[in-house]
Structures are given as C-alpha cells and as structure tokens.
Structure 1
Amino acid sequence: MDRWRDTGEVPGPVMVWTPAQTGAFLDHAARYDPALYPLFHLVAHRGLRRGEAVGLGDADTHLDHAEITITQQLTTAGRSVQRKPPKSDAGHRVIALDSGTVAALRAYRAHRPATDDSGLFFVRPDGQPWHPDTVSRRFRRLIDDASLPPVRLHDLQHGAATLALAAGATSRSSRPPWATRPWP
C-alpha cells in the first residue's frame, strides 16, 4: 500500500489525496507555512490553478459575498513572471466560497503584510508577489515533511473535485471531468 515510500514510484500520472490526507496536509501547512496556508486551502477546496491562485486580485476577492472572480493568472517564462488572462474563456469565472474558506481568507487578509502596488491578494511576508515556482517548491517540501504521498500542486486542484464528491456533490456526467485515482 505504501509502495511509493519504498520506491518513490507514483502509481499514476494524476493522483489525488483522500479527504483525510488533504486535511492532514492543510493542518501541516497551517502550522509550518502559515504564509501559504490560505492559498493552499483555496486551491484544495475550490480547485483553482496555481497561476489563478497566485494571480488572484484583491479587487476580485469578495468575502462579504463569499465569492472570488478569476480574471487573470500569473505564469512563468523562466524566472520571469507574467500576468495573463485565464487559461481559457471558461477560466473567467465566479467561484462561490464555503464558510471555512472565507474564514481562512479573512484571517489571512487581517494579518497580511502591507502589499506593493501589485493589487494581488496573496503576497509574500515582505509584501511582494509570490513567484509561482516558489509556491510549488514549498508545496513539495511540505508534502515531504508531512510524509504524505507525493502529488503535484496541480493534483491538489483535481483533489478539490474529490472533496466535493465526499461532501455530497454530484457530477453532471457519468464520467467525471478529472481522470484521477485517490491514494489508498
């Protein structure tokens, strides 16, 4: 069952954690990387892409209405970061937030450092924007430190669908749009 621990092999190209594993990761992130915990919480619960999360605008975050609007993403070209529109036309969307995510984002905003003029919601402790690759590296380090099965940050996005199903949501089709296998 824990063959990945012995071999480092991942059983499939896209893997997702169980709800318990996701919860363990988020608990670990809250304790050991509180600067990025709210971003990881948002990705895990609402399925944002990495670029959408790091590119989330302050003006697009409407916590009193429990929603965010995706209008841009931050992408990388080498070490250079660029603002771009969402990946597709369907990427422009309004996302409803659950009360736990609203609470996590409110707590973050209340203690967030003064920001530069980027207009981004998530910023580093020095107020500068997060580099998307830095977010991914810290995600991987947290997974290793927590001894959880290896997944990519992109897989955490797919895991949001698993969490939604575990909470009772239903898919609109007989075959889910994500091709994932949960870890045992």
Structure 2
Amino acid sequence: MPRVSQQQTDQNRIAIEKASSRLFREKGLDGVSVAEVMAAAGLTHGGFYGHFSSKDGLAAVACAKAFEQSGARWDQRFADLPEPGERRRAYVEGYLATATRDRPGSSCTAAALAGDVARAQADAPVRAAYLDGVKAMAARLASLQPDAGSPEAGQRALAEMATLVGALLLSRATKGDPISDALLASARAQLLQQGAES
C-alpha cells in the first residue's frame, strides 16, 4: 500500500477539522461519532487515529478552529466598514439574524456548544478551547465599543455577548413559534439602541 504524502496527510487533517467543526455545532459533541466525522470528511474511520488520539482531542481542535473561522468571517465582513459603530451594528444584525439561527453548523460556536461544554468534565480539553474562544469573542466586541480599551467597554462587551448568545440559544430552542423571531428582534433592537446611545 503506498504511503500517503505529507501534503495529503495535512489535507486530510484539515478535512477532518472542517467536518467535525460543522457537525459538532449542528449536533453537539455527543451527537456525533468519529465514524460520522470521518465519513463527512470523505475518509475511512481507521484513519482518524493517525491524526487525533481521541474524540475529546478532536473536539478541542474543532472548537478552536470554529471560533477562529468565525472571527475570520467577521474580519472579512468588517473590512469595508471603517467605523467601530458600523462594525458593531453589522455584528449585532448579522449575529441576531434568522439565517444565523437556522444554520448552527456554520454560525456561532459559543451558542452552538455552550450546553455541551457546560456539561463537559472540568479538565476536558474542549473547555479550554471554548474559554479561549469566548475570550476572543469578548475582545472583538470590546473593540467595537466607542471607548474601546476602557474597562467599561470590556464590561459592556460581556453584557452584549451574554445577550447575543442567550438570544440566539433561546431562538433556536423555540424555533417554529413566533417567539423565536421575537427574541432575535427584541435583542437586536435593544443592542442597537444601546449602541446609538453610547
């Protein structure tokens, strides 16, 4: 059997990370098997352990990668918006959109994995990756405040993050009922009003 090149090995690992990142956000950490991840990556189950020692290790890498990808997407969206206020508005409107609610596999990792990470063991690798991602999200929101860099901006960013993630989680949990859209609209209106006042 021919040996796989380093380039192919790297491509396979990237495919596993991408597939697991999407699947874990769609179905939760316990809702996805290694076999399912590998099938979604277009690889055989046996190849998994050449890349990761365990599903827990993969979950941590996938979580970190998902936060990283989300940050890169926001940076791309912000590229044409020079003012922090415009970027904040775009963030709030994009985050609290029905499209975000309806696509957990490609949207916010903080919301998609919150319940799973809360139930994970204290020393689970995914907890550290999640914490790093949440801190990065808070820093991004703080940078969008008019007084970025101040302690008050950091405090507002934490409150805004709690509102964003909470509204998205509740909206997903109530999808199909009118309250689902109302949760998004109310949180969006409140955050945009707060932004206009600051």
Q: TM-score, normalised by structure 1?
A: 0.30
Kindly indicate which of the two structures has a greater share of residues assigned to strand. Answer: 1
Question: Max radius of gyration: which structure?
Answer: 2
Kindly indicate which of the two structures has a greater share of residues assigned to helix. Answer: 2
Higher relative contact order (CA 8 A, sep 6+): 1
Q: TM-score, normalised by structure 2?
A: 0.28
